[in-house]
Structure 1
């Protein structure tokens, strides 16, 4: 049971590192035709796009200075942490 939790935790950690890499790369003028950048976008966009759409529809980010910044990676990190805590709680219920 512990190995399943470790595998899930490892996948979540790897996705967090991909998000960090995408955020850092976005600060530099790297060509969009780069294969590594394409890979990062292919991995993260299915998660970030719905979050970004949700944030754009909210009244807080709509038509404000905050709409110029992309907060979707931050929300994704928070969601990953919630998922990690829920999975940990579920595994703790079954182990004890």
Structure 2
């Protein structure tokens, strides 16, 4: 069971790193036409979209900054902690 949890943890860490790379590349206005950016968006958008939708429902997406990647990372970490708590 420990190996499965460790593997899931590594996968979630990779997803978090991809989300952070996306955030920093957006800060530098890297074009979405770039092949790397398209792949990055395809990998991270299914994770970020639910957080963006949640912020939209709560009416908290009104500013210049997009907090949905940070909410997605928070949800990923909470999910992993709940998983560890249930399985161990």
TM-score norm. by structure 2 comes to 0.89
Distance 2:31 2:51 in 1: 25
Q: Which structure 1 residue ranges, 4+ long, deviate > 4 Å from structure 2?
A: none
1:4-23 alignment, distance < 5 Å: 4-23=4-23
Kindly name which structure, 1 or 2, has the bigger radius of gyration based on alpha carbons. 1
Contact 1:55 1:72 in 2 (8 A): yes
State the Cα distance separating 1:91 from its structure 2 match.
2.3
Distance 1:24 1:45 in 2: 15
Q: Secondary structure at the match of 1:69?
A: coil
TM-score norm. by structure 1 comes to 0.82
- What residue number does 1:46 align with? 46
Superposed CA offset, 1:51-83 (max 9, x none) = 212212213x26xxx432211011111101111
